[in-house]
Every structure is written in structure tokens, then in C-alpha cells.
Amino acid sequence: MSTLSYVDESPSSPWATYLAQVDRVVPYLGPLARWAETLKRCKRALIVDVPIELDDGSVAHFEGFRVQHNLSRGPGKGGVRYHPDVTLEEVMALAAWMSIKNAAVNLPYGGAKGGIRVEPKKLSTKELERLTRRYTSEIGIIIGPQQDIPAPDVNTNAQIMAWMMDTYSMNVGATATGVVTGKPIHLGGSLGRVKATGRGVFVTGREAARRINLNLQGARVAVQGFGNVGSSAAELFHGSGAKIVAAQDHTGTIANPHGLDMATLMPHVRETGGVAGFAGAESMDNEAFWDVECDILIPAALESQIDAARARRIKARLVLEGANGPTLPVGDDVLGDRGILVVPDVICNAGGVTVSYFEWVQDFSSFFWTEDEINLRLDKIMVGALRRIWDTADQHKISLRTATFAVACERILMARQERGLYP
Ligand code: NAD
């Protein structure tokens, strides 16, 4: 449990999940364990009021957050989420997982995350732009190309990054492309960024499947969350011969044991905003998603989805965490006991931040790479990082999650120790 006075979390909150994950890694940190408390605190948390004028002339206020969890290894890096359930505690957990993720793939970043408590689907495009610009101005005191670099997350995209980049640039009086990643291509964005997180899920999934002798050809895949991450991962698995047998999003759940036709499902989702009503599948009760017969399950929506009860029902051999924090520690234990392999979020969905790093590097050098170069480098980094984590898991006989935390926390705390405490 937290020792922070401003945190009042329930045992199933994302921050409590993160703390439990840190507690599990402490025995493997050796002498660095004396610094472990560092991981249980956020360096900096900014809460901002975001007032905007709505199209009808009224004024609305929204709560905004930017949290920098740990900056020992470099500038903060992490997405910005627009969602009605965003809280400070959630953003703290997401920022902390970014610290772990960035260190796990050895990117020269600390961890950060931001969010606004808002239902963006209820705002017009102009209102969304005003919201984004005011939020960016408010957090402008702590972000910057060398301080903290936001990126897209749930309900944010390249257009929102363009507004953030423009607002920050107007405030500092110079075009600062490196202040955000996930931008449109002609504004310094990187080829391959949009699908990078899903590609990373696929690459780690492909490697994990190979290790457990699961053939992707004909493998049955169920995906929760059919947005950027879930749909990109689904397309790549489908392209490797797997069948997408079920998909769930905020509009409903659909299933087809013979496989969903991705060529018609993707336009349906784009045009209607969700999977519901897709003609080539049966719709089913949302809770029945967890009973679907499948080989691979990809939670790619929100946190805290797999509790102990759902973990007991899952039929898959392999769980690939596209979302951040989808599995509660109790769910993790049940999956482990049942011999279901979990590739944890902190490595599984690291493809997005890896290509964000490529984008940031390309912006600084003003020299842009081809999509093939980006995808090849991404593949190599993800495979190398996963191999190191797997070796650590084998050495200590621990889960891939605890092994990822062990590799990452060692890097973070070594940096902390070498830098020393100021003053
Ligand atoms: P997105 O907004 O593109 O998609 C989110 C999806 O989740 C949508 O399909 C939505 O309908 C679905 N969803 C929302 N509430 C749901 C519910 N209650 N039940 C089922 N489905 C629901 O967001 P995204 O970028 O794909 O992010 C998804 C997850 O991946 C998040 O946990 C995010 O933090 C994580 N992630 C994203 C990136 C990235 O680069 N975008 C990187 C790493 C991790």
C-alpha cells in the first residue's frame, strides 16, 4: 500500500497494482534494493484546470494531469489520455509503467504520462482543439523536447499531437517538433508510428508463441479493445495466418469461430466507430468474451480487466498485454498457476514508445528513415529486449513480468545510485 498522503487507492486501482508489482521485484534487486522506495513515488505531479468555451457559448472546466514518475535515465516520456475515468492515481500508475517500459527496452527516457478527465466523443472538433491547446499551455511549464515528451494514448491521435506541438511552439517562439511524438508525417512524425504499438505486440507474441510451440498459422486470437493497438495487432496476426475469433470494444462484443474477415471489419469500425453491428459475426454478451475458445488473448483496452475470476475462465495459452495494466496481481497469480504465459504490458506494448524514440531522434537530426528501416530496427530492439528478460526469468524462475521489472528497475536504480542524491 502507498505511503503517499494524497493517494487513497482501492486494492484494485492501477497504482495499487503497480506497487504490488514493485514489491514482487525487490528481492531480486540485490544491494540496489536500498533505493527501491524511489520507485514507489512520483517525482512530480501537476494538476491543472482546463477551462474552455463550448460551441454554445458556455464555459466548461476539465481536470488535467501530467505526472513525471522518474527522470533518472532521461527526459519523461509517455502518452496523454482523454477519458472520463482519468484520475491522478491512474495517471501516476501509467507514468510509473512508462519508467519501467522505457528502461526495459533501454530507451534513454524516464517515465511520464498525462490525461484529461473528459468524454472526448461529446466534444466538437473545435472544442477538442481548444481543450488540447489550453491543456498544453498549462502543462507547458514541465514539458519540452529535453524535459518531457508526450505522445498519443487512449482517445488521442496525430491531430491532437499536431495541436500540442503548435501550441508549445507558439509559446516558446520556435517550431519545436521534438516536444511530442506520434505527429503527422509532414510535421516531423515517423513512418510506422501509428501501428508501432500493435507491431510490438505482434513481435513479442510471435517470439513467445515460438517458445511455447504455438503455431501462428491457424491460431485463434481474441482481442479486447479494437482501437489503435488492438486493431493493428489483430491485422498483423491475421496476416501471419492466425484467425481473429472475437473482438470487443466499447460498442460491444462480436465473435466468429471461423475468423473475422479483417478486410471488411476494419472499414466497418472506421465508419461506425466500433465493432458492434458487424455483419460477418455474431454479437455476444460482453462478459462471455472471457470464455471464448482461443489460443491467444490480447487485452488492448483499459486497466484492471483480468481479475481472479476472469483469469480462471480464460482459455488461451498466451496472453499478450497490449493495454497498460490490464491484469490485477490476483489475476496474474491465477494465470501463472494455470500455466498460461503472460507477456506483460511493460515489454509487450513497448513498440509504440520505441518508434516514438525513433521519431524524436529523427526530429533532432532532421533526417528521416524509411518504413522498412523503422520496422526492422523495432523488431530487433523488441526481440533483443525480450531475450534479455526471458534469460532473467529463467535464471530466477520468475514470471516474465517480474523479470521485466527486474531488468528495468536495475537500470533505473543504477542510474539513481550513480547520479547520487541532490544536494
Ligand atoms: P484507442 O483509443 O485507439 O482504443 C481504445 C479501445 O478500447 C477502443 O477500441 C475502445 O472502444 C476500447 N474500449 C474502451 N473502453 C472499453 C471497455 N470498457 N471495454 C472494452 N473495450 C473498451 O487507444 P489505444 O491507443 O489503442 O490504447 C489501448 C491501450 O493500449 C491502452 O491501455 C493504452 O494505454 C495502451 N497503449 C497504447 C499505446 C499507443 O501507442 N497508442 C502504447 C502503449 C500502450
- In order along its 423 residues, the chain shows pLDDT tens digits of 556 888 877 888 999 999 999 999 999 999 999 999 999 999 999 999 999 999 999 999 999 999 999 999 999 999 999 999 999 999 999 999 999 999 999 999 999 999 999 999 999 999 999 999 999 999 999 999 999 999 999 999 999 999 999 999 999 999 999 999 999 999 999 999 999 999 999 999 999 999 999 999 999 999 999 999 999 999 999 999 999 999 999 999 999 999 999 999 999 999 999 999 999 999 999 999 999 999 999 999 999 999 999 999 999 999 999 999 999 999 999 999 999 999 999 999 999 999 999 999 999 999 999 999 999 999 999 999 999 999 999 999 999 999 999 999 999 999 999 999 999
Give the pLDDT of residue 362: 97
Q: How many domains does the chain have?
A: 2
Q: Point out the catalytic residue in the list 40, 43, 77, 113.
A: 113
Is residue 367 domain-resident? no
Is residue 156 domain-resident? yes
| Among candidate residues 326, 348, 370, the one where a domain is terminated | 348
Same domain for 200 and 150?
no
- pTM for the whole structure: 0.97
Same domain for 246 and 336?
yes
* CA-nearest residue, atom 35 of ligand 1: 323
Ligand 1 geometric centre to CA of 414 (Å): 32
Query: Active site includes 101?
Result: no
> In Å, what is the CA distance from 394 to each residue of 209, 387, 389?
17, 11, 9
Cell numbers at 134, concatenated: 489550453
Ligand 1 geometric centre to CA of 90 (Å): 14
Same domain for 170 and 242?
no
* CA-nearest residue, atom 27 of ligand 1: 154
Same domain for 277 and 323?
yes
Is residue 94 domain-resident? yes
Ligand 1 geometric centre to CA of 254 (Å): 17
| Among candidate residues 348, 365, 396, the one where a domain is terminated | 348
| Among candidate residues 348, 381, 396, the one where a domain is terminated | 348
Is residue 204 domain-resident? yes
Ligand 1 geometric centre to CA of 302 (Å): 6
Same domain for 147 and 83?
yes
* CA-nearest residue, atom 20 of ligand 1: 249
Is residue 213 domain-resident? yes
Same domain for 247 and 168?
no
Pocket test for ligand 1, best of 18, 85, 128, 249 (most atoms within 8 A of CB): 249
Pocket test for ligand 1, best of 229, 253, 275, 321 (most atoms within 8 A of CB): 229
Same domain for 169 and 261?
no
Ligand 1 geometric centre to CA of 392 (Å): 29
Burial of 137 (0-12, 13-18, 19+ CB in 10 A): middle
Same domain for 58 and 114?
yes
CATH number at residue 270: 3.40.50.720
Where in the sequence is the domain holding 280, given as residue range(s)? 196-348
Residues with CB under 6 A from ligand 1: 152-155, 197, 224-230, 248-250, 274, 300-302, 322-324, 349, 352
Read off φ and ψ for residue 382, nearest 5 degrees.
-65, -40
Asked if 236 contacts 382 with a C-beta cutoff of 8 angstroms, the reply is no
Is residue 34 domain-resident? no
Give the pLDDT of residue 12: 83
Q: Which atom of ligand 1 is nearest to the CA of 230?
A: 26
CATH number at residue 71: 3.40.50.10860
Is residue 403 domain-resident? no
Is residue 394 domain-resident? no
Give the pLDDT of residue 348: 98
How far is the C-alpha of 140 from the C-alpha of 143, rounded, in Å? 5
User: How many angstroms separate the first and last alpha carbons of the chain?
Assistant: 29
Same domain for 233 and 331?
yes
Same domain for 96 and 170?
yes
Same domain for 204 and 329?
yes
Give the pLDDT of residue 2: 59
